[in-house]
Structure 1
Amino acid sequence: MKLQDTLELQVKAAVKALFQSELESVEFQATRKEFAGDITVVVFPMLRVIKGNPAVIGEQIGAYLQDHVSLVKGFNVVKGFLNIEIDDAYYTTFFNSIKDNENYGFAELKDGKAVMVEYSSPNTNKPLHLGHVRNVLLGYAVAEILKASGKKVYKTQIINDRGIHICKSMLAWQCFGNGETPESSGLKGDKLVGKYYVEFDKAYKQDISDLISKGQSEEEAKKNAPILLEAQNMLRHWEAGDKAVVALWEKMNGWVYDGFEATYRAIGVDFDEYYYESQTYLLGKEFIAEGLKTGVFFKKDDGSVWCDLTEDGLDEKIVLRADGTAVYMTQDIGTAIQRIKDYPDVGGMVYTVGNEQDYHFKVLFLILKKLGFDWAENLYHLSYGMVDLPSGKMKSREGTVVDADDLIEEMADTAEEISKELGKLDDYSEADKKALYKTIGLGALKYYILKVDPKKRILFDPKESIDFQGNTGPFIQYTYARIQSILRKAGSVEDTTIGGVEVSIHEKEKQLLKQLEQFPEVIQNAAMQHSPALIANYTYDLVKDFNSFYQNVSILGAEKEEEKIFRVQLSKTVGQTIKNAFSVLGIDVPERM
């Protein structure tokens, strides 16, 4: 049982024995550094059920605990705060229970419903960019955190492979491509298709300019631009099943899928299932018909179908147009239901989508509840803020986005540049150096993005993210590599058992043990809050405590053999916990650095 849970039971017992009162809960906090103690009981909330001076009450409870609880070796009271000192034996017992557990912090798979996590979900008219990178890293990390908390997880995406956006790239390729392919151009397929999306926009702007010069208003010109009308006509042909258009669509989307997969491999993420908008955009209409019968939806005079959510603080939402065609909401309703059909063990879903879609998901979840699906109670929108660069906002139509592949390469290059300045890799082979630069670069990118609360907007600075000092991925990776160096120098010491030898624990060791004890709870809290930032910042705190320990306590030069053994084993366990924490964030740790 965790220290706080054990103490809560004992404090409640003390209050019952001393004051004949029942406490519903006990409030704890970390003991302030200027006072002796390992954990602090806040007395003030107890005044709701106990009358008296909080300092006196604290003294009475502290004396009771010291007399009746073996793990309490001392206490002091500062106003209404009871600071409790814990016997070293508690920490050695805790440490012996975890030191050989390579999966420390991870819960075993629990019975219950699985969770499906959706992330990425790109359009097929352009390569993945920095905005997608935040989405992918968040979704993947949340999926891995949920797994670590004991849940079964399916990772999925829905690829937006239909609509006017892909027709624009297809038409531009037909007009300007001269049969260019990924093979002939040397470009990744997604980049080649993205190139023609930009070409379409150039031609579209030229058409608009030409029409304005002939007397049309800007608004009219935007609607009447010949190349846009051609793209709209192509979309109609695709929806009608025109063989030539469908064949071109399949070819160009195939190029994009291959490009996406290469990027996902480079980033280090994967998926269990793929859904395609071309296969799901007609889903949902049958449930609209069912909802009309049950009163969830209503039909307006023009034949369009709506859901009235005004009593729920929202507005009226259209779910079928007057001509009977579906809107995105219809498709999302149908896709959610289809996923439950495909995976009957799923009892909830997480949608990783930017915060500009907050309202959409409020409406979607509410409609699914009104349709009577019990799993709709367990839907969560992992909403996140935009990613900005020091140079400003990204615009994909103008070709000014930060391409994900280029970003990954730039991060490795920046890692190489900084590593060379530090001169730490002189004895590495070129191949080992390149692999390490990628590990550092990707670690820097992922950590910089994941350490921020998902809801906050990020200003991403590649150079700042690769700083080897401060709250960065490379700083944590370097500490892990330092621990591995200690273990190599220690040889077989880390595998020696302490047995019954009593070890006096240094305050720096105790602080590390306190941090280690928190890790399983941090995993569970991160899963409940869908927040990788909790794990990222926990890991930074653990690393800071380890470096303080490293600087103040001699590990391999300890005076006593049992102290050396304990410190080496403690270092090893800290290293394993760093590795476990980073693994759920999708970040690798190097053995040497």
Structure 2
Amino acid sequence: MNFIITETRKAILELYKEEIAESVINIQETRKEFEGQATIVVFPITKISKKSPEQTATEIGEYLVSHVDDITKFNVVKGFLNLSIAESYFLKQFNEEILSADFGRYPSNGKKVMVEYSSPNTNKPLHLGHVRNNLLGYSVSELLKAYGYDVVKVNLVNDRGIHICKSMLAWQKWGNGETPESMGEKGDHLVGRYYVIFDKEYKKEIDALKAAGQNEDEAKKNAPLIKEAQQMLLKWEQGDEEVVSLWKTMNEWVYAGFNITYKNLGVDFDKFYYESNTYLLGKGTVDEGLAKGVFFKKEDGSVWIDLTEDGLDQKLVLRADGTSVYITQDLGTAEMKHDDFDMDESIYVVGNEQDYHFKVLFLILEKLGKSWAKGLYHLSYGMVDLPNGKMKSREGTVVDADELIESMVTTAREKTEELGKTNDFPQEDKEELYKNIGLGALKYFLLKVEPKKRLLFNPAESIDFQGNTGPFIQYTHARIKSLLSKSNYQFAVAGEQFSGISAVELEMILQLAKYPTEIEIAAKAFSPASLANYLYELAKLFNKFYHEVPPIVKTEDGDLKQFRLNLCKKTADIIHTGMLILGITSPERM
């Protein structure tokens, strides 16, 4: 309702002889308990009027009603001016703006953004925490695309280090030549199983050493298994053919398994980076930092940065023996990614346990004078808990992503068949529907919560055809599609020659009109949660409309019937488009 800002500025100039900036005028949606659709917050204007908020609001309200045809009435509640907008304005907005094919689509803004997400370790399958990461990264990417960005989706795979050597060593010792094919097992599951085996055998050795008199720390260092794993890592770094060959083979098993999970989750990537190719990066950046005086070298030869003046601490960036620490390679990788894609912004989707790491990383890059460092952002998210407690990956009690997906689909099948609404569906269509409902429930439940918040995931609660859930929104979409099919809907702009629209229909227009703004809000916050909850409110409002308005099929007034069908169609379109941004499919039938 930009016209209200324009007309209010005119009113202030006329009444108080002063021109003000648009930013001074704060317009909000009128609260439901008051009459009107738009509310002007008057308090900032009293500095100009030199009058009480109530008197100022009354004078502006009287001016607007007498000078603007689309403003029919006003009421004042303290310092808030509530305006009633003419029905004709909303019908015109609906026909000319909301019904247009490009409504809610943002043109290219000419900016490129990289979203890095998933970033798994190759020693175990993806788990529930990874699921939140992947869904969040994918959805933020789609949001930014919708808002006009050129988006590059990147996955930096942690495919080296002591963790993968543990799986490799355990497979060598106890694997008996097992392969994913010979076991009929996904490769990431097989490798993860040996990671768990290593941990169990390592604990046995630690207990034996402690029983022989060593303390906990000594036993952990002296256990033969950990020493063998460390030796294997050294051989890998030296390029030992046998170790490198095994490493490649087992990693390929894992990648094949990951790809199946990614496909089932519906996420994708434009570029994969591998830590095995990037772990030596950053040493040049350290040399650059030493030359610029950003870093300093201690007597033992190690290189540090002093961040105490920034409220942090001293941070090691290169060991005394010249080997990298984690932040060294992150400095190098950040530079490499920028060189590869020359992006304006880069978003790291990583759990909140890494908050400090990214604060340090971004600060160092700024101190090194990297102009692009201001565009780096850590999208920090909270842990996912289950009703029965936390996940523990090394003990093999992790909530496996594949098992979770399968469980969600099974639950969707059971709940849908209880309702008996798919009895006439072909079996193939049923299976596709159950997958869409199960994954829709999972994705929506994880995305409707602000990323920074810790999340309690309740699978049973997520698959509910009532309430703030994915299946409720999906069912609403299917209901609209059924209604449009029964009405033999054909698009046409309805004439305006029918008696007044109902209050709920006006609410529907107002809710639909918010869609572009909701995309903007969610994209700027890197948070799909606000979009998810907007779609729920839209679906909820449609169901209110569906029950309050007489059956559309029986509506005799042609223009009114067309208007209502258009209202249904646009609601379905926005649900469909908005849910796709969340990575969720909206079925035509349920």
What's the TM-score, normalizing by structure 1?
Answer: 0.97
Shift of 1:529: 0.6
> Is residue 510 from structure 1 mapped to residue 506 from structure 2 by the alignment?
yes
SS of the residue corresponding to residue 442 of structure 1 reads helix
Shift of 1:106: 2.3
Alpha carbons 1:23, 1:46 under 8 Å: kept: no
Paired amino acid for 1:109:
S
Spell out the pairing of 1:429-440 with structure 2 (5 A cutoff): 429-440=426-437
Residue equivalent to 1:176: 174
Give 1:568's match in structure 2, choosing from 562, 565, 569: 565
- Distance, in Å, in 1 between the alignment partners of 2:193 and 2:161 is 18
- Distance, in Å, in 1 between the alignment partners of 2:368 and 2:499 is 62
Structure 2 residue ranges without an equivalent (≥5): none
SS of the residue corresponding to residue 580 of structure 2 reads helix
Residue equivalent to 1:226: 224
Residue equivalent to 2:66: 67
Residue equivalent to 2:392: 395
Residue equivalent to 1:267: 265
Paired amino acid for 2:39:
T
Shift of 1:329: 0.6
Alpha carbons 1:99, 1:570 under 8 Å: kept: no
Spell out the pairing of 1:166-565 with structure 2 (5 A cutoff): 166-344=164-342, 346-492=343-489, 494-499=490-495, 501=497, 504-554=500-550, 555-565=552-562
Structure 1 residue ranges without an equivalent (≥5): none
SS of the residue corresponding to residue 437 of structure 1 reads helix
Shift of 1:352: 0.2
> How much identity, in percent, do the aligned residues show?
58
Shift of 1:536: 0.3
Shift of 1:462: 0.3
Alpha carbons of 1:172 and 1:103: their partners in 2 closer, same or farther (altered >3 Å)?
farther
- Report the more deviating stretch, 151-160 or 335-344: 335-344
Shift of 1:48: 2.7
- Distance, in Å, in 1 between the alignment partners of 2:473 and 2:503 is 22
- Distance, in Å, in 2 between the alignment partners of 1:253 and 1:95 is 54
Shift of 1:171: 0.2
SS of the residue corresponding to residue 312 of structure 2 reads coil
Paired amino acid for 1:402:
V
- Report the more deviating stretch, 455-464 or 415-424: 415-424
Shift of 1:519: 0.8
- Distance, in Å, in 2 between the alignment partners of 1:545 and 1:21 is 42
Paired amino acid for 2:334:
A
Residue equivalent to 1:95: 94
Alpha carbons of 1:523 and 1:342: their partners in 2 closer, same or farther (altered >3 Å)?
same
Alpha carbons 1:43, 1:57 under 8 Å: kept: yes
- Distance, in Å, in 2 between the alignment partners of 1:390 and 1:193 is 28
- Distance, in Å, in 1 between the alignment partners of 2:267 and 2:93 is 34
SS of the residue corresponding to residue 122 of structure 1 reads coil
Alpha carbons of 1:582 and 1:503: their partners in 2 closer, same or farther (altered >3 Å)?
farther
Alpha carbons of 1:549 and 1:126: their partners in 2 closer, same or farther (altered >3 Å)?
same
- Report the more deviating stretch, 450-459 or 88-97: 88-97
Paired amino acid for 2:302:
S
- Distance, in Å, in 1 between the alignment partners of 2:102 and 2:160 is 43
Alpha carbons 2:76, 2:82 under 8 Å: kept: yes
- Report the more deviating stretch, 443-452 or 211-220: 211-220
Residue equivalent to 1:44: 43
- Distance, in Å, in 1 between the alignment partners of 2:525 and 2:585 is 24
Paired amino acid for 2:329:
Q
- Distance, in Å, in 2 between the alignment partners of 1:363 and 1:347 is 20
Paired amino acid for 1:50:
S
Alpha carbons 2:386, 2:458 under 8 Å: kept: yes
Paired amino acid for 2:573:
Q
Paired amino acid for 2:7:
Q
- Report the more deviating stretch, 202-211 or 556-565: 556-565
Shift of 1:337: 0.5
- Report the more deviating stretch, 495-504 or 439-448: 495-504
What's the TM-score, normalizing by structure 2?
Answer: 0.97
Shift of 1:44: 2.2
1:510-541 Cα offsets, whole Å, 9 max, x none, are 11111111111111111111010010011111
- Distance, in Å, in 2 between the alignment partners of 1:318 and 1:50 is 59
- Distance, in Å, in 1 between the alignment partners of 2:102 and 2:168 is 49
Shift of 1:350: 0.2
Alpha carbons 1:23, 1:49 under 8 Å: kept: no
Residue equivalent to 1:124: 122
SS of the residue corresponding to residue 115 of structure 1 reads strand
Shift of 1:134: 0.3
- Distance, in Å, in 1 between the alignment partners of 2:518 and 2:31 is 21
1:101-146 Cα offsets, whole Å, 9 max, x none, are 45531212222x3000000000000000000000000001001100
Alpha carbons 1:503, 1:562 under 8 Å: kept: no
Shift of 1:14: 0.8
- Distance, in Å, in 1 between the alignment partners of 2:329 and 2:49 is 58
Shift of 1:79: 2.5
Paired amino acid for 1:80:
G
Shift of 1:159: 0.2
1:4-45 Cα offsets, whole Å, 9 max, x none, are x22112112211210123444112222222322111112223
CA RMSD of aligned residues (A): 1.3
Alpha carbons 2:440, 2:471 under 8 Å: kept: yes
Q: How many pairs does the alignment contain?
A: 587
- Distance, in Å, in 1 between the alignment partners of 2:164 and 2:455 is 29
- Distance, in Å, in 1 between the alignment partners of 2:32 and 2:26 is 18
- Distance, in Å, in 2 between the alignment partners of 1:59 and 1:551 is 38
- Distance, in Å, in 1 between the alignment partners of 2:528 and 2:33 is 31
Alpha carbons 1:21, 1:50 under 8 Å: kept: no
- Report the more deviating stretch, 44-53 or 191-200: 44-53
Shift of 1:497: 2.8
Paired amino acid for 1:147:
K
Residue equivalent to 1:35: 34
1:425-470 Cα offsets, whole Å, 9 max, x none, are 1111222111111100000000000000000001100000001111
Paired amino acid for 2:512:
L
SS of the residue corresponding to residue 315 of structure 2 reads strand
> Is residue 158 from structure 1 mapped to residue 151 from structure 2 by the alignment?
no
- Distance, in Å, in 2 between the alignment partners of 1:122 and 1:291 is 30
- Distance, in Å, in 2 between the alignment partners of 1:348 and 1:516 is 30
